[in-house]
Structure 1
Amino acid sequence: MSRSELDGVLPDSPLFMVKYDGHACVVNSILLKMLPGEIRGMRGYDAESGEMQQEAFFAITDYVTGSISPLKLIKNMLDAYDTISSRGFGMIHTAESVGFPRNLDVDLVRWLSRGGRSGFQTRVFFQTMNTSKVLKRKLPRIGGCFATALAGCFGSMDAALLDCPREDHRHGVIHACLPTDEGMDLCARNGIQIPLQPFFLNWPQEPSSYLREILGEREAALNPLRTLHDRGILLAGGSIQ
């Protein structure tokens, strides 16, 4: 999918299409012209194709979600409740705080869930590392998925920098696709683990035929679990690979 293809479908209105795994997006020309200037210098920005990744993707996501009016947001949330419940679902796990001013989406979800009479259960996972925001709202849980993916966990940075070297470190490498021989030797030698998801070997959204078209012969070495295991590398379950 490219900017020119989106322009062919919707040339007169802004269009923001997120990749199914939530890590990239494609925008059309109208939206591209609307974006703040500082985004253009961010890593992952590609005006030619319209595909945005890395920091540019998250900045654009914040811009787009922040531009939605509160009334429209409430209507969309209520429509989502109706649609999901009509299909037999009884619980929603929401990952909130993704660009709305003053974390408006977090509070709206809480208020809407309290006012429901359908017995629908809602669990809010506040995506933040700032525990005071969560405690102030008396939420029983915290999300922090993206923040912890980057920082490790609460206190991990201090533990790594202030108490080193360590005999029992827990270093790991995520997104360790297409590992090189040198990289695997380094991991085995230094006790570096690989958090991964074996499910990716049979992922309907990215079948082997699709990967082979992109990678050619390298497709077989994309996630070499047997090779990693035989080299003595610790493999661990992870939410992202």
Structure 2
Amino acid sequence: MQIFSNATFLSMDKKNQSFTVLIEDKGKICFLGNDIPKKYLGRKITDLDGLTVLPGFGDTHLHFISDSFFKAGLDLRGVRNLEELKQKINFYETHKKSKVTIGFGLSPHLLDQKILPTKSDLDKITSRPTFIVKYDGHAGVANTDFINLLGAGIKSTKGFINHTGQFYLDSFYKATDFASKQVSLITLIKSIFVNSKYLAQKGISFLHACEGVGFPYDLDITILKTLKFFLLQKISIFFQTTDLNKIKKRKFIRVGGCFETALDGCFGSLDAALTQSYQNDSNNFGNLYFSQERLNDFVLKAHLQNLQVAIHAIGDLAIEQAVNAFEYALRIKPRPDHRHIIIHACLLNDNLIKRIAHLNIHLAVQTAFLNWPEEPLDYLHSILGDRTQLILPLKKILDNQIIMANGSDAPCTNPDPIMGMHQACNHPVNEQSISVLDAIRMYTIWAARLGFEENTKGSLEVGKCCDLVILDKNPCTILKENIKDLVIKTVYIKGKTVYRADK
């Protein structure tokens, strides 16, 4: 049992109450109030010295195993030119004696040349087999030595450009499968535990892991299903497959995510599906990976099996396709509390927002995209024009009573709820900024709702898990422009200390 006092506990409950005392017992909250009950007097009290405490955060969309996998490799976010790339690769190879170098996060929008390097560029840098994944996780590039390791099947797959060494579409996923085999299982498992600790430092106590890509035989699913009981966070797995037999065999209650259940691509590769063409190419409307008929069939079958369905849709045409499919399934079998999810939902017009609200579809968004160094706003404006004003209109979404939660899409962005809250309160389109409390809800009670976990997580209430994030300041009493500067002092998950800033 632990007694915490002299703090501002922001409960995030329905009444939006705050308290100064919280008592934990066996990992759950057993009391909240402003005075310590007499029966607890005489016990040890932890004085929090006026700090502010929030419920543990949730990340409602990340690729946890892939993020762990890439964290064991070379982080190339922020690289500005080929000389920096060379320095990073050479330093990594000097200190990491792996047979293959796997890098992640390189953005052509930050490079001086404004395009991905080619295999000839990489050949001049290193002779170690090297595979680099683009920042958005939808493309990659390799040097000749890595390409020579690949089988003919991969090199003949759609999307591989031999003369540049670049991988897109199916060839990218097959190359990623091959790259993942080059990392030992022990190394991968170690990186998973390291990543769990990293997420704890950011206050994350529960997450939605979208898995089932980048590893042969769905190895990532098997690993996470086995290890999740030993990790710090409560993990809900979303299997990225359209094969519902796999879902049934593993007794999952959720299906979807990105990749195999993605309706379109992304802005970075100019293949997010749009109702109007890209600003810089009047012939390009992006790509839809499903016909409406095929998507309707998949969603209906999953819906009839009472599964929760989550679908990647970035462009407005893809979002419309997702809404159509959910509408079709709900017309055949109404399910008021289905909590189906559209992931990303980046480009939203008024009509789509109204339809989403009417169908009670939930959204798993990533406010990190609003100020993403790897995909800057000037690039988005160059390809979308004035439609950049429609990217994640948070205030309008909430005004339409849509449940919306936040996440990172890691490894695309590093999980950081504090920064995500900051972006939500400081939207590039000022009138779409939301309140601090709503920004917190996106990582707490609304995040819990997306996973049917609001009875155990997401708010500080008696009977719920004692997941606490202790901050140096109260986010509700500082300027919204300073939210990014909040410091996490201590994190508890189920009443146990998992992170202390002073240690």
Give TM-score, length-normalised by structure 2.
Answer: 0.33
Q: Which has the larger radius of gyration?
A: 2
Indicate the SS of the match to 2:241: coil
Map Cα deviations across residues 22-78 of structure 1 (whole Å, 9 max, x no partner): 211111222111111122223321233222112221221222224433223212212
Indicate the SS of the match to 2:203: coil
Indicate the SS of the match to 1:109: helix
> Which residue number in structure 2 is paired with residue 45 of structure 1?
160
Question: Aligned Cα RMSD in Å?
Answer: 3.6
Map Cα deviations across residues 105-144 of structure 1 (whole Å, 9 max, x no partner): 112112211123x4x2112111111122222222221125
Instruction: Pick one of 342, 347, 353 that aligns with 1:197.
Output: 347
Matched, 1:32 2:147: yes
Structure 1 gap ranges (5+): 160-171, 176-194, 227-241
Indicate the SS of the match to 1:95: strand
TM-fit CA distance, 1:96: 1.2
Give the distance between the partners of 1:221 and 1:87, measured in 2 at CA.
35
Give the distance between the partners of 2:384 and 2:174, measured in 1 at CA.
34
> Which residue number in structure 2 is paired with residue 93 of structure 1?
208
1:165-184 aligned within 5 A: 173-174=317-318
1:70-85 aligned within 5 A: 70-85=185-200
**Against the structure 1 CA distance between its residues 141 and 210, is the aligned structure 2 distance closer, same or farther, given a 3 Å change threshold?**
closer
**Against the structure 1 CA distance between its residues 68 and 124, is the aligned structure 2 distance closer, same or farther, given a 3 Å change threshold?**
same
TM-fit CA distance, 1:83: 2.2
Indicate the SS of the match to 2:208: strand
Give the distance between the partners of 2:256 and 2:384, measured in 1 at CA.
35
Matched, 1:207 2:323: no
Matched, 1:139 2:234: no
Amino acid at match of 1:197: L
**Against the structure 1 CA distance between its residues 84 and 41, is the aligned structure 2 distance closer, same or farther, given a 3 Å change threshold?**
same
Indicate the SS of the match to 2:226: helix
Say whether the 8 Å CA contact 1:129–1:147 is kept in structure 2: yes
Indicate the SS of the match to 1:143: strand
**Against the structure 1 CA distance between its residues 121 and 27, is the aligned structure 2 distance closer, same or farther, given a 3 Å change threshold?**
same
Say whether the 8 Å CA contact 2:208–2:235 is kept in structure 1: yes
| Greater relative contact order, per chain length (Cα 8 Å cut-off, separation 6+) | 2
Say whether the 8 Å CA contact 1:42–1:55 is kept in structure 2: yes
Indicate the SS of the match to 2:237: strand
**Against the structure 1 CA distance between its residues 36 and 222, is the aligned structure 2 distance closer, same or farther, given a 3 Å change threshold?**
farther
Say whether the 8 Å CA contact 1:174–1:196 is kept in structure 2: no
Instruction: Pick one of 117, 120, 126 that aligns with 1:4.
Output: 120
Matched, 1:23 2:165: no
Give the distance between the partners of 2:204 and 2:384, measured in 1 at CA.
38
Say whether the 8 Å CA contact 1:26–1:50 is kept in structure 2: yes
Give the distance between the partners of 1:22 and 1:89, measured in 2 at CA.
22
Say whether the 8 Å CA contact 1:129–1:144 is kept in structure 2: no
Structure 2 gap ranges (5+): 1-115, 264-288, 302-315, 320-344, 349-366, 391-503
Give the distance between the partners of 2:347 and 2:377, measured in 1 at CA.
16
Give the distance between the partners of 1:121 and 1:76, measured in 2 at CA.
18
Indicate the SS of the match to 1:63: helix
Give the distance between the partners of 2:134 and 2:244, measured in 1 at CA.
30
Give the distance between the partners of 2:386 and 2:150, measured in 1 at CA.
35
Give TM-score, length-normalised by structure 1.
Answer: 0.63
State the number of aligned residues: 189
- Greater fraction of residues in strand: 2
Give the distance between the partners of 1:50 and 1:197, measured in 2 at CA.
32
Give the distance between the partners of 1:85 and 1:157, measured in 2 at CA.
34
Give the distance between the partners of 2:299 and 2:239, measured in 1 at CA.
21
Say whether the 8 Å CA contact 1:65–1:98 is kept in structure 2: no
> Which residue number in structure 2 is paired with residue 14 of structure 1?
129
Give the distance between the partners of 1:211 and 1:196, measured in 2 at CA.
12
Say whether the 8 Å CA contact 1:23–1:57 is kept in structure 2: yes
TM-fit CA distance, 1:203: 5.7
